[in-house]
Structures are given as structure tokens and as C-alpha cells.
Structure 1
Amino acid sequence: MDPELLELQRQLEAAQSARSSVRLSERNVVELVQKLQERGIIDFELLHTTSGKEYITSDHLKHEIKMEIKKQGRASLVDLSDTLGVDLYHVERQSQKVVSDDPTLMLINGEIMSQSYWNTVTEEINEKLQERSQIALAEIAAQLHIGSELVISILEPRLGTIVKGRLEGGQLYTPAYVSRITAMVRGAARGTTVPTNLPSVWNSLQQQLQEMHGASGVSVEGSFFQSIFNGLLKEGAVLGSIRAGGQWTPAVFAHAQKESVDAFFSQNSYIGYDVLQKLAIPQPKQYLEARYPDGIALDAVFVHPSVVDMLDTAVGDAIDNGHWIDSLSVLPSYITGPDATRILSICPSLQKAIKSSKAVLFGESCVFSNVFIKKRNTMLSGNAERRRRLLDNLQKQIDEAVLDMQLYEKALDVFEDDPATSGILHKHLLKSMGTPIVDKVLITLDKDRKLKNGMEVEDSEDEHVQLSTADRTSLVKDLPGALSLKAQALIEALEGKRFNSFMDALRDILEESGLTFKKLDKRLERTMLHSYRKDLTAQVSSESDPVSFLPKVVALLFLQAYNKALQAPGRAVGAVIALLKDKLPASTYKVLADYHSTTVKLLALQAAATDDEEDCASDRMREKKEDLEERLMPELKSLVLGTSKE
């Protein structure tokens, strides 16, 4: 080295190491700097440190900031202020200039971050991702104390380079894990054979993952499943269609839908829209019209043209043969009235017949030929006359029966104090007089209903027909509305215990039928009682059978005593005789009581007779009968008829 240069270096070193004899105070330095600034010698900005003992230039502050960022990669402005000893205000100003001059830096939320820092961070994220297969962005953001949006902006440009993974729905996944999830989604989609809500499928896959890996398993968002599914659908890896709301319809189901519809339609020549709705086919009417252009779309069903041809043939036959037809009886049971009307409107034979006045359409489904209508009108005209005669005949029979029943009903009042006998007499009148008139009324009303409706009715004599309870109930059900209710009440009264209730029910049904209930007045009652007395006296006088004689003579004596007509069954005769005790002379009552006692014994012997004691029983029965015929009957006749004549 040059000796002169070496000498200069030695002198400089000596000068630097030598102690100055002149020292300036801090005040002198400050005044000196101010003078230099006033004279323009220092023409750049000087900044005070927070300690107030140093000056620092803006450029040097910027340099210090850059050095700190280069060393740390990420620095908080607050930390820089403390480290550099400069007020935060100056640090913020110079930091903004540093960041604006260097595109690799960013200032966010009071922190300066470099790209090298993010490269290092993303390398660490990638290492952790490969270990765990998945990382949540929220977790990364929490660890780095930054927002999730910033994490996404940092990760996205580095995906596939530094970070080997896929970002989806707030999660980072490794390619291997994505492939695994893709396989699960593909399998689930291909295994679905019916329309399915995809969110429910994703929930099932999520549960499956949790069962496989436990609580520490990877959490997969439904949006990730959906994103993978959309990709598979676009690639053609899964076949089908998806509607808004995530409703997935596999291609295999759509194919099965078509086969089911084709099979049903070809077999039945019709198909209801609800069948398609059960097959999950939306807008069934439009679907069928597009699939079967020749078919006919009705309100509730879609039919093949052959259905129209079939109905047209049946309607044509009915018109040609002078009949009528209900199209619903020909059409499939699935077809209702409005749809039947629509089909009839396109039947050529019907439209032709209507135009030529050979047929008419009634209601929604019935077709009547004019020939049938004319025949029916003729029959209805004849039926009107038959109905009039039928009801007139019933009225005559009812008049006679109702008067007789009212006449015999008055005798029931005498036995009100004897409930047992009263009950027997009520039931006897219901059975002997009520039953025939009820049967006659029901049979006649049923005939009238049939004639009114144009039905065939035979002119048979049924005056002596006795109906069972089931027969009466069946006839009542066929009667219209209020008449049916009144008829049911009549049957219930007939099966009851009070004759007066029956008479009320009979009056109600007669009024409902338009018939009259003839009331028994005093004058008519006297006339009927006189005729009844005369007839009963003749019967008692001519009766030769001792058993049949007893109820007749008791009825005559009751009429003489109470001036009331009585119908009493054999088991009530004893009670009637007891009632007559105070009304008859002692001699007459004694003969009557003996006659009754002997008759009861005779009937008891007849009932108890067996083959083993035939001879003995016959002798006793013969004795009793002879006693009645030869002694008691003539004596009783003499007493009763003598009184009657008086």
C-alpha cells in the first residue's frame, strides 16, 4: 500500500481517538440546529425521537422501518414506534410511503406485511394442511389475528403452488381428501334411485364421516359436497337432473317413470293425473300431452282414443235399440261425471243423434233415446191413474181400520189401574190390528214410489201379505226423505208397548203421504157400538165351540157393563172377568167364573196330554167339554142374551 496513504489513515485514527477539548451542551446543540435551519443550511425535515435527545431524518426513519420489516416480515406500527423511539404519527406517515413505494408490502389494520412473510406463512399452512387433510379458514385467521377475507386473498393466488389444496366453503382440503369426498358424492348420487333432496344426502355423508373419524374428524360443509356434485354432473359422471331447492332426480328414476306410465296407459287405455303425481312427475297433464299427442286430456284423467270409440259404440247401440245408457257404467271407474260429459261431447254417434233429435243428454253422463222417452212418458201417464186408484183403495181400507182401532182403543182406559193387563191389551191390539195396517201402508207406499219413478209394478193382490221386521225396514229405506223417517217411527211404535203412541205415528205418516186420518166422533161411535153389539150377540148366540165362546161372551158382557168394545187375548180374559164382578149379577158372575175355570182346566188337560195317559186324559177332557156344552154354555147364553135383549 502507498506509504502516504498509510500515514493519512494513521493520522485520522489518532484524530478520532483524541479527546475534544470543546464540548457542547444539549441546549447549544439545539440552538445550533435551529440556526442552521433558519439559514437554510439544513433544508430537510428533522424528526425528534420520543426521548428528545436525538434528531432523525425522514429518510433514515424510512430506512429503519424497511430494515425492521425485512427482519420480521410483519411489523405493527405501534411496535415500530416503540422500537425506533419515534412518535407513532411519524411512523404511520413514513410507513404509508414505504408501502406505496414497495408493491410487495401491504398495510392492513395498523400492520405492515411483506410477501415474503406470506410465503413463509402459507408454507406453514401447507405443512399443517398435509398433516390434517383439512383446515378451517377461521382457525387460520384466529392464529394470524387477521380477517378471513384477508386469508382468502392471500391463499387463493398460492393454491396449487405453495399450498397444495382446494379452498371451498371456508375450508382448505388436500387433493387426496377432495378425491375421497368426490368418490363418496359420486357413489351417493349413483346409488340414489328416487327423487331426493340433496341437502339431506349431504347430511348423511357428514354423519358418515363423523362416525368414521369421531369427534376429531374432518368437518365438511354441505356447499363443498354440492360443488363437487355440480362438477360431476357437468362432466357426465352422474346422470339426472336437478331443480331449484336441491331436488335431485336420477336418470334411472326418470326412465322408470316413463316405463311405469307407458305400462299403465297401454294396459288400461287411461291414466289419472294423480298416478303421475305419485310418481313425482310435475305438471302431469302437459307431460302426457307431450308423450301421447293422440290422447285426450280431461280434467282428472288422460284417455286413449279407443275409450271414445268404445263409448261411441255403446251409445250408438242404445240409441238404435230405443234404450238409454249411463256412460259411467261403460267407462272405467276412474272417470267421473265432468270427464264423462267431455268424452260424450266428442262421440260422433251421440252428436249426430242429438242434431237429428233422436237422443238427448241428461245430467253429466246419461243418454236417452227419444223412443225410450216416449215409451216412458206413456207409461208414466198410465202410472198416474194407477197411483190414484192405489191410494184411493188404501184410503178406504185405512178409514175402516182407523175407526175400528179408535173404537177398541177406548176400552184400554178401563185398565189403566192394572198395568199388567193394560200391557197385554196394548200389545194385543198392536199385533192384531196394528200389524196388518202397517204392512198395507208400507206396501202401498212402496208401489206408489215405484209408479212415480216409472218402474214396473205388478197388479198383485197383497192384502194378506205379512211382512217381517227386516222386510219393513227394507221398504222404509227406499222411501223418500221425511216419509222414510215417519215410516221408521211407525215401525218403532208398532214394536213398542203403547197403542196410543202407535196411533200418533200412524196419523203422522198418513198426513205425510197426503192421506187422511178419519177421527171417531160420538155419533159414529154410537152407530159402530150398536152394530158391534148386534154382531157380537149373533156370534154368541150361534157359537157352538165352548173354548171360542168364552172370549166372545166376555166381550159382550164388557160391552154391556162399560159400553166399550174390547178385544182381549185368552190370557187377559181372567182379568176382564175379575173386573166385571162388580158389574154383573152374582148369579151371572158365578156361572161366568165357573165357565172360565172349567175352560182353563180343559185347555190345561189338552196341553198336558201325552201318549201314555191318552185314555185317562181323554176321559177328563171329555167330561169338562160336556160340562161346558151341556150345562154351562146354555146357562150362560141364557143369562147373557136375556140381558142383551133387555
Structure 2
Amino acid sequence: MLSGSTVKGRLEGGQLYTPAYVSRITAMVRGAARGITVPTNLPSVWNSLQQQLQEMHGASGVSVEGSFFQSIFNGLLKEGSVLGSIRAGGQWTPAVFAHAQKESVDAFFSQNSYIGYDVLQKLAIPQPKQYLEARYPDGIALDAVFVHPSVVDMLDTAVGDAIDNGHWIDSLSVLPSYITGPDATRILSICPSLQKAIKSSKAVVFGESCVFSNVFIKGIFDRLEKDMDSFGIGHTVGQGRPVNMNLGSEHKTGSGQYSDTKDLGDNDASSTGVSSDRGSKKKRGKGTGSAKGGSLEKDDDNEESIPVKGKKAHRKNKDAGSSGDVKHGGKKASEKMKESTNVFPDELIEQKVLAVAPELEELGGSDDSNVPLKLLSSHLRPMLVDSWMKKRNTMLSGNAERRRRLLDNLQKQIDEAVLDMQLYEKALDVFEDDPATSGILHKHLLKSMGTPIVDKVLLTLDKDRKLKNGMEVEDSEDEHIQLSTADRTSLVKDLPGALSLKAQALIEALEGKRFNSFMDALRDILEESGLTFKKLDKRLERTMLHSYRKDLTAQVSSENDPVSFLPKVVALLFLQAYNKALQAPGRAVGAIIALLKDKLPASTYKVLADYHSTTVKLLALQAAATDDEEDCASDRMREKKEDLEERLMPELKSLVLGTTKE
């Protein structure tokens, strides 16, 4: 418009716009801006307005630049005609949308005490974690969600109650379902009750979410310790190293997040801290998993702990320990660790733990080594091993005296038996020219004298092995126990290396045909066992023969049984003839009498031969006898017995004893 020399209008981008036109465009921009309720890119809005103007004025219409729309919009924003915020690049967020965002976030957070970052992303809020931290300074930003402090308070109350009452608790059973394992670990780490319990050595955390009071752990340990004999522990031969017979495998243990672990209760100190870095989310319990039966008898003893700062410190301590082992016997330390695993494998401990605390079964069911039940088992293992070793060492110290008495008693019995066997062995030389009789006498000595001493030696060495290895052994008398070949072989297999070989050779010699070979094998095993094989010298032999002669003479003089009399009188006559002690079975008596023919007076030999012949006939009649009263065999037996008792026995006694006295 022209008014004199003044032109009223607005110059923009090289074009002059009249106030009316500007007013109309301003109304369009205001209406468009107020109609926007979601974040919008303004250049796209200006393009839409340009198209509307072209449609209204056609090709002859004025072309309005986007900068003109933007200039008008900036003016409206400045004067407050439109409300909202604009970012670089023309991204417009109307105030109504920002208010709706705020109201939505506030409503969700106040109702649920948490909000997920994905919810904010759906509301077009960039950098949701920073937004929430700025809006709620007291809130806690986790990996997946942002939670209200009341969630921590709720968990802290439950954890504190579980610890104070000697229970265990899975925090996932208390926390809302949207909080996963890693976030549960984060919340646990800031619970005041847990921090206090860790510092005072009252609790330990296994996996990502499970808190165990040390009272509960000690209760399980005490019950497992009492039941330790059922673990099926054996011992390797020689070194006495314990080996579990039920299971055997290597196991991994979780690393400590908050503090290192140590033994508790009777083993000096408790383990307090968090084990495991990450693990799969565990099955949810009902309420505070422990409150239903996870409590064991409470112990007021507090244990010590040595805290470390995270994994870095844990690694540093581990490296320092390993370097020390290199200097002071690292090989021995590694053997001890391997021994620990062999004695109490995690799988076995898991079974025993579930037997005394079946409610912990919900914590298993995974091959992950960071499952809480596995970590608890790994935590208990060194405690059990230490207790077992203490018990074993105590038993070993007590067993030392028992071993000494056991071996002293064996040595005394061996001394007597070995001298007797050497004495009777000398009589075998007389029969070298009679292989048949010699074989009978060798086998008789092996059976009558060798078998008892072999059984005694094997049983004693087996007891000694068990006592040496700290095993329970009953103080039972086994003097009259006769072993089978299978029993002997079984005992031999349990003996250590060289001793086992010597024992096997002894068994083979016992089942052989030569008594002298047996004596050599017996000498070898006694020397291997540290026992003495006492040799029979001439002086001792004379003393023993004198005593033997005296005892045998008394037996012959007092014997009234005609059958039992024969071998005794033959042994006495053999002693008189050869000055050697003889032990022979009944079937060898005939051959011995024949050998004595040239050594005895004719009258004595005749009576002895008649006595032997009559005795053989009597025994044959007794073997063939029946219960028939009309059988004439009974009369014949009576006649033979009377002949022996009334005629031959007195005559033979007179001849033999008279010769002895002379």
C-alpha cells in the first residue's frame, strides 16, 4: 500500500509482503503449529503450507520461501502464541506432547516403582537413562530398567530378615519379574543389610541373586560333617591320599565379587561375599525362599572374613599366592587342591546338601558352574576336606600306637611259628629218597602250619594299612579266621606295590608243593614288612627238641584213645631214631613205620607193625559200619579195639617209654 511516500509491508527474502498477507500467513502458521501434537520436522510443515498457497492462488500466486514461515514461527514462539521447544534442524516438540510425556512417565513410575527404558523410547524421549536420572535423582538406573528406591528398601528388608534368622533367600523371588539377574546383583550390592552382613562376616552371595546366611551354611556343614562317613571315601595305597569312590571329576568355582571366601565354623573363618559373575536367571521361589524350611539351628559364633576389592584384587591375591607356591612348594599345593576335588566332588556334595536341605533343589538344574547350588557345594568342599583331614590326622596319631601293638603282637606269633616250622622242616630231609611220602609231608606242613600263619600275616598287614591311612578298624580277634584263596587275593590287591608282590608270591608258595619254597616266600614278605624272620640255631634247636621230646612222651604216656595213640607213638619213635621232630598225616604213618624198621629193635617193630595193621582194619570197619544191629561188623570192631587197648597199646607203651627212659 502506498501512503504518500511511505510503503507499509514486510521485506523477506527479496520479496515485499503486505501486512494483510503477513497476517494471513501468520494465521496459517499459528494454526498449523497449534495443530501439531507430536514431535515434527518443521520444514515438512512449511512444504505443506507452500502447496496449500499454490493451490489457492494458482501459478500466478506469490512463492513463499520456507525461511519466511520459519521467521513467522519464531516470532510466534517468542511471544508465546505457540508453546513447545525446537532443536537444531527444525525438530519441533509441542508443549502438549512434552507434558503428555512427563505425565505418562510420572504416572507409570509412581504406580509401578520402575520404568523400562523402552517405554521412554516409545514416547520419543532420547537418552532415557539420562532423562530419568535428571528427573528422579533418588532413583536407581539399572541395565534394563530404572527403579524407585522403595524397591531396594523392600529387598533390603527381606534380605536382612533372612540373614538375621539364619535363612537363605533368592532375591529374584522378592523382586518384581522385570528385574533380571544382572540387575538383581546390582540392587543386592546396594542393600545396606547385605553390606553390613558382608563386613561382619554373616552372609555370602552365590550366583547373581542368592544370599545365604553363614548360620545356614554352617548348619549344613555341621550336618554333612556328621554324615561324612557315608561319603564313600577311600585311600590310595602307600601315601594315604584320600580318594572318593563314588564320584571323581574336576570342578570350577565362582569368583568373588565383593569379598574373598574362607572356611567357617570349626575351620577358623567364614566366607562372606558374592560368588559368580553371571549366571542364568534362576527359578523363582515363593516369597523369601528360605522362610519355608531353609532355616537350620542358629549359631551365635561370628566368623572372620578377608575382604578384597573386586576381581582385580582377587586376581592380585591369587597371583601373589601362586608365586609363593613356586617358592615354597607349589607342587604340593596343587596336589592338595587335586586331592580336595577327589575327596569331595561337587556332585556328591550337591546330593548331600539336597538331602539335608531339599528346598535348595530349585537352585539347581543347570550345567552352568555359577548356579548357586554348585557354588554352595564348591564353598563347602574345602571346609569338608579340612574337617576330614583334621579327623584323619587325629585318627592317625591315635592309630600309631595301635599299629605298634598290632605289629609287635604279630612279631611274637611269627617268632614262635617260624621256629616251629623250621624245626619240623628238618625232618623232611629224611624222606628225600621217597618222593611220594615227601610230597605228602610237604603238603601237610603247608596246610597245617603254613595256612594259619599266612592268614594271620595278611589280615594284620591289611589292618596296618588301614590304620596307616586313617581308616576305621575294629579291634576284633581274627586268630581263628580261615581265609579262602579269593579272600587272600583280595587282601593282597589292597597292599602297596612291592609288599603286594611279595604277598602274592607267598600265596602261590602256600598253594605249591615245597615247604622250603614257602619258607623263602615267608621270609621275603616279613623282611618287606619290616618284621624279623628268626632263624633256628643249634642251641635253640636242642632246647626245642628237648621240650618237644618231653611233651610228646607225656602225651604217649597219657593217651588212652587207640587211634590217636598211633601217630604220637610213631612221632616219638622217629624222634628217638633221627633226633628230628615230625608232623605227619595218618596216611603217611605206614611209610614212616617202614622207614623205622632198620632203626628199631625187632620186637618193637613187630608190635608197632601189628598195632598199625590192627588200627587200619579198625578204621576200615568203622568207615563201612551201618546202623543195622544184626551187622557182625560191630562185633569185629569191638574185638579190634579191645585188642588194641588191652594188648598192643600197653605193650607198645612199655617198649617205647622204656626205651625213652633209658
Q: What is the TM-score when the length of structure 2 is the normalising length?
A: 0.47
- Higher-Rg structure is 1
Instruction: Considering Cα pairs closer than 8 Å and 6+ residues apart, tell me whether 1 or 2 has the greater RCO.
Output: 2
